Amino acid sequence: MFESIPNNVNLSDNKRLQRALEQWQPDFLSWWMEMGPEGFQQDQIYLRTAISVEAGGWAHFDYVKMPDYRWGIFLTPPTQDRRIHFGDNIGEPVWNEVPGEFRKELRRIIVTQADTEPASVEQQRLLGKTAPSLYDLRNLFQVNVEEGRHLWAMVYLLHQFFGRDGREEAEDLLTRRSGNADTPRILEAFNKPVNDWLAFFAFTMFTDRDGKYQLAALAESGFDPLARTTQFMLTEEAHHLFVGETGIGRVVRRTAELMRQSKNGDVSEFGAIPLDIIQKYINEWFSASLDLFGGEDSSNAATFFGAGLKGRFREADDKKYRDHVALDDIYQLDVPSEEMLLKREEIPLRRAMNMVLRDGYVEDCERALERWNSILKEYGLSEQLYLPSQRFNRSIGIYDGHYFDPKGEMISKEQFDKSKSQWLPTEKDYQYVSSLMVPVYEPGKMASWIAPPAKGINHKPIDFEYVIRAK
């Protein structure tokens, strides 16, 4: 059976790991059948499978049934004489076993990362039933199977390096459930419902992008197996971000096109999504995803950095970091005070590592906003989409418990409650969007509310039969 798990970790010579995975694999499969994409497990999906880490090997395309997807274990090949390149242990050789003094921290980081992967599959499990095209249906499943593989990647680390504790954690990853009141997923954004395709695109745009930044920070880790695993996960992540960014872009394009055609600018008569609803979804998912970076001022972040477990984005390569120990610098933060004012405070840089990572994330999001806005301009429209302030609608960190408008002005709870329906999706907005979610399974056809993609997948035409439904 283990020949069937593609891997570059010498699985066939590692009896202990084999046995652990042998126990876990059937549980993973029953989780997948229960919580994975509902109603499509027998269909042939045109999917990309990672079969090796060689150039090109990670992108093998063919039709597969999802339960037959070959979830594999791949690490980017090791670098000779790699050294820890930040924090207190800078210059020491990287760890190939879990360093005893950081075992608790590492386990927690890995479990937190791992937990998001199956959570997202659970959040998206019903979306296939309302896919706007076969192209989108296929992309949804591609994202789902790869998040499944990301779970395998983390479970490999737990099984290989954390003994019995690791095996228990790996089981727990299959028992928690997104949104469940008793056994919820660990991070809040992974318990939110993703009930429609605009939410799916906002999720892959904003929440998967947190994944990109967290994985990149872990790819700097001094625990080499974690660095190499997450480095390889990043190759797959790029497609998820593409799905989100171009997905919203196509919704914006369709809306813009119809705004030009309609006399009063109201696109709902054509079954499209008004810009103000798109903006509200951006507000909702951007703010929820900012929470995923943790607190602005965080002792955990300082510990992770100091220990050499979690670095900054491209810590090794980006020339802008001159000091990799980061004990002397400070970070300026606008902290809310009792008098409804923001006070600029200085915090030690290590405690601000969540912010440093988040700053890069926000810049990355800004670039996508610019691209969407250029679509609006292309249609001669003056409307613009924007990112809300990073203080808006937060539940984690220093802004939690305070109220801000999308521009970042501090307001009272009463003011917030009064205006909330203009800033965040209302029940009525969700219902309207959900009323548009009718499946379109004819090759090349698109639902009313979304423009076709610029091109197909893997040089196939847009009207390629990306999913062949079982009879």
Q: How far is the CB of 82 from ligand BYC (least distance, A)?
A: 21
Q: How far is the CB of 85 from ligand BYC (least distance, A)?
A: 18
The interface partner of residue 64, options being Fe ion, ligand BYC, none and the CB cut-off 5 to 8 Å by kind, is none
The interface partner of residue 405, options being Fe ion, ligand BYC, none and the CB cut-off 5 to 8 Å by kind, is none
Q: How far is the CB of 151 from Fe ion (least distance, A)?
A: 8
Q: Provide CB contacts within 8 A for 234, sequence distance 6+.
A: 212, 215, 216, 219
The interface partner of residue 294, options being Fe ion, ligand BYC, none and the CB cut-off 5 to 8 Å by kind, is ligand BYC
The interface partner of residue 295, options being ligand BYC, Fe ion, none and the CB cut-off 5 to 8 Å by kind, is ligand BYC
- Give the residue with the Cβ less far from ligand BYC, 20 or 189: 189
- Give the residue with the Cβ less far from ligand BYC, 4 or 299: 299
Q: How far is the CB of 59 from Fe ion (least distance, A)?
A: 16
Residues lying near ligand BYC in the complex (CB under 6 A) are found at 109, 112-113, 116-117, 120, 147, 187-188, 207-208, 210-211, 214, 291-295, 298, 300-301, 310, 354, 396
Q: How far is the CB of 215 from ligand BYC (least distance, A)?
A: 6
- Give the residue with the Cβ less far from ligand BYC, 298 or 393: 298
Q: How far is the CB of 354 from Fe ion (least distance, A)?
A: 19
- Give the residue with the Cβ less far from ligand BYC, 300 or 448: 300
Q: Which residues of 317-337 are buried (b: 16+ CB within 10 A; e: fewer)?
A: eeeebeebebeeeebebbbbe
- Give the residue with the Cβ less far from ligand BYC, 360 or 443: 360
- Give the residue with the Cβ less far from ligand BYC, 220 or 291: 291
Q: How far is the CB of 461 from ligand BYC (least distance, A)?
A: 29
Q: How far is the CB of 268 from ligand BYC (least distance, A)?
A: 30
Residues lying near Fe ion in the complex (CB under 5 A) are found at 117, 147, 150, 208, 211, 240
Q: How far is the CB of 468 from ligand BYC (least distance, A)?
A: 27
- Give the residue with the Cβ less far from ligand BYC, 291 or 429: 291
- Give the residue with the Cβ less far from Fe ion, 204 or 287: 204
The interface partner of residue 291, options being ligand BYC, Fe ion, none and the CB cut-off 5 to 8 Å by kind, is ligand BYC
Measured distance CA(341)–CA(104) in Å, rounded: 38
- Give the residue with the Cβ less far from ligand BYC, 72 or 295: 295
